[in-house]
Amino acid sequence: MTGTLATTTLSDTDWSQDPRFDTVIHRRKTRSVRVRDIWIGSEHPVVVQSMINEDTLDVEGATAGILRLHQTGCEIIRLTVPSLAHAKAVGEIRQRLEASGASVPLVADVHHNGMKIALEVAKHVDKVRINPGLFVFDKPDPNRTEFTPDEVAAIGERITETFEPLVRSLKEQDKALRIGVNHGSLAERMLFSYGDTPLGMVESALEFIRICDRLDFHNIVISMKASRAPVMLAAYRLMAHRMDAEGFNYPLHLGVTEAGDGDYGRIKSTAGIATLLADGLGDTIRVSLTEAPEKEIPVCYGILQSLGLRKTMVEYVACPSCGRTLFNLEEVLQQVRSATDHLTGLDIAVMGCIVNGPGEMADADYGYVGKTPGTISLYRGREEIRRVPEADGVRALIDLIKEDGRWVDP
């Protein structure tokens, strides 16, 4: 064609049926996995997790750390178990938690050559997390140039022999397992076969998944963590693709490991986790910050709420402010938030003027909009209800919510 551009258009029917353009996230279908009284899977809300940073041998400190996390809304809590002594300490921690009346789902993190540790700690926790690259660990040989087929087979047999007792124990106790691959700790054999790649991560997990499947054990959650979001994204997508192809409908635990701290740590975690959730992948999440674990929980819930996957706080819609703004938008937003942030489930808009205000806030339950200098319009949905002096705006908004029977005392 000359002088024209070739274009592809969608009919209204095509558009409405294409999941790429849906405003609702359609989650990948998975089985349900129970961790104490919490269920993980596509039929349940996305679960929020974190990990204490106290030494598990410090029974008092670890118990206090677990309770702090639990009180902030963390639904599943992990603790590290690097030795048999740590595993036995978890039994004491569990007793203290039960004595306090806290029913907290616990996950034990087991790493290097951890069979005996895992078998012991499985008595006291609700889920065990193992890292395939470390569970049967051989120190890398700097002089190695290849693995022979016989060596690969021998390692596979040793993995099966070591892993099967844990699988049988978890199955007997009706407890769960996380097969948690880390990009930075792939086994030497996997690095030789697949390189330091997402494919190596996936193959590492599948080796352990197939052992579980052969033993008819399916209380499994899978993670593919990396410190770089693009690697993490590729690994999870490939993992979901391969599992679906082989009929393994296990839930996914999402996270960008070693994300750092501050704004960048939060942005990096959100870039990885939210991208996959928007694709329908992910059933439980952890934001890994180099900060107090309790600070991870608001980020998790913020990610889920922003995607419409959980509703755990008030959603505030507010314009960025411009020359048309008729009041101190930042100050008023804080006043509105302070008065209403306990009304979980509501959407409240604070908009600086009527140019874009009513349209941009159309999905909100209530709106606070600058009408003219010194005057505020209050909306219920798209309907303007009343106009009040700016000085009375926040109080009038509260009164409107009360009139509708949607107010609860803080």
**What is the dihedral sign for C-alpha 301, 399, 381, 387?**
negative
Nearest to 265 by CA among 293, 236, 291, 297: 291
Beta-bridge partner residues of 224? 181
**To which residue do tokens 């258009």 refer?**
9
Residue pLDDT tens, the chain, 410 long? 444 444 556 566 666 677 778 888 999 999 999 999 999 999 999 999 999 999 999 999 999 999 999 999 999 999 999 999 999 999 999 999 999 999 999 999 998 878 999 999 999 999 999 999 998 888 888 888 888 889 889 999 999 999 999 999 999 999 999 999 999 899 999 998 998 899 999 999 999 999 999 999 999 999 999 999 999 999 999 999 999 999 999 999 999 987 788 899 999 999 999 999 999 999 999 999 999 999 999 999 999 999 999 999 999 988 877 767 778 888 999 999 999 999 999 999 998 877 766 777 878 999 999 888 899 999 999 899 999 999 999 999 999 999 999 999 98
DSSP 127: E
Q: How many CB atoms lie within 10 A of CB 395?
A: 11
Nearest to 290 by CA among 274, 272, 273, 266: 266
Q: How many CB atoms lie within 10 A of CB 136?
A: 20
Phi, psi of 75 (to 5 degrees): -95, -30
* Polymer length of the chain: 410
Question: What was the pLDDT predicted at 14?
Answer: 67
Secondary structure of 288-319 as H, E, C letters: CCCCCHHHHHHHHHHHHHHCCCCCCCCEEEEC
Nearest to 81 by CA among 40, 48, 111: 111
Query: Which strand (E) or helix (H) includes residue 108?
Result: strand 106-110
Both tokens of 346, joined, read 């509501």
d(CA 343, CA 408): 7
Nearest to 46 by CA among 181, 218, 221, 171: 221
Question: What was the pLDDT predicted at 96?
Answer: 97
Both tokens of 250, joined, read 């296990």
Question: What was the pLDDT predicted at 219?
Answer: 98
Q: Are 61 and 68 in contact (CB under 8 A)?
A: no
Query: Which strand (E) or helix (H) includes residue 383?
Result: strand 383-389
Both tokens of 280, joined, read 């329908």
Residue type, 373: P
* CA 249 from centroid of its chain's CA atoms: 18
d(CA 354, CA 278): 32
Q: How many CB atoms lie within 10 A of CB 320?
A: 7
Rg (CA), the chain: 26
Question: What was the pLDDT predicted at 12?
Answer: 60
CA 363 → CA 101, 207, 393, distances in Å?
A: 41, 47, 20
d(CA 70, CA 97): 11
Half-sphere exposure at residue 213, Cβ-oriented, CA atoms within 13 angstroms: 12
Report the relative pairing of strands 252-254 and 284-285 from DSSP bridges.
parallel
d(CA 242, CA 226): 18
Helix (H, G, I), strand (E, B) or coil at 56: coil
